[in-house]
Amino acid sequence: MKKTTLRTIVTFLIKFLTRTEYLGLENIPDSGALIIATNHMHYMDIPLLFINPVRADLTALVTTKYQNHWFIRWFCQTAGGIWINRDIADFTAMQAASKVLKEGSALGISPEGTRSHTAQLLPGKPGTVLLALKMGVPIVPVAITGTEKAFWRIFTLRHPQITVRFGQAFTLLPVGPENREQMYQQYTDEIMCRIAALMSEKYWGYYRNHPRLKELIKK
């Protein structure tokens, strides 16, 4: 199956089975290299990003743990996803991700590095920051909410309300040799707090009391 065909099918299913709303689409550059940084609560998050109305060229880094699920494995391969082993320094995946960005395409990444089983934000990891700094590309934060109970509602013949909200694009300033690790952590927190600011308080989890989140929600 072609990627375009899969996109058409998924778009129809999402519209038929759910009430999904895409907000802040004007914040997504319609061309050029871009990292889309998202939270991750459910298997549905990948298809929802895949069918976003602005960047049909989007692909994503997907953990190799999902290769054990035949449907997710097939979906990600058809959609052009990049498998990444989160348990090691996966240089092959990073090279593939860098190639996607060099070609001017959009790349989806979950800075948390894994799926949250509590519908709460988990601590972010520095991989997204390292890639963004290496490639010098902007980051668009996105918060996906409502997927945590979506399958249950679909199976009980109800349409779950899902929101995919994109925030403003931003770039990270280069990091010097001093305080490098501290800056990586600060930038990681910046990405995660920008994601948190796009969702309701009940999802904030690890970042609930972070001072940067408090600054963002006051704006």
Residue by residue, DSSP assigns 150-178 as HHHHHHTT---EEEEEE---B-PPP--ST
**pLDDT above 70 (res 28):** yes
Determine the average pLDDT of the residues in 128-154: 91
Alpha-carbon distance 170 to 173, whole Å? 10
**pLDDT above 70 (res 207):** yes
Question: Binning pLDDT at 50, 70 and 90, where does residue 157 land?
Answer: low
β partners of residue 83: 62
Alpha-carbon distance 68 to 189, whole Å? 31
Determine the average pLDDT of the residues in 66-71: 83
Does residue 211 come out as left (phi exceeding 0), alpha (psi in the -120 to 50 range) or beta?
alpha
Determine the average pLDDT of the residues in 15-30: 95
Determine the average pLDDT of the residues in 78-84: 91
Closest CA to 139 of 192, 178, 204, 72: 192
Q: What is the pLDDT of residue 89?
A: 77
Q: What is the pLDDT of residue 130?
A: 95
- Each domain of the chain, given as residue ranges in start order, spans 3-218
**pLDDT above 80 (res 188):** yes
CATH number of the domain at 3-218, out of 1.20.210.10, 3.10.105.10, 3.40.1130.10, 3.40.50.300? 3.40.1130.10
Alpha-carbon distance 219 to 215, whole Å? 7
- Please, what is the average pLDDT of the chain? 92
Full-model pTM: 0.93
Q: What is the pLDDT of residue 87?
A: 79
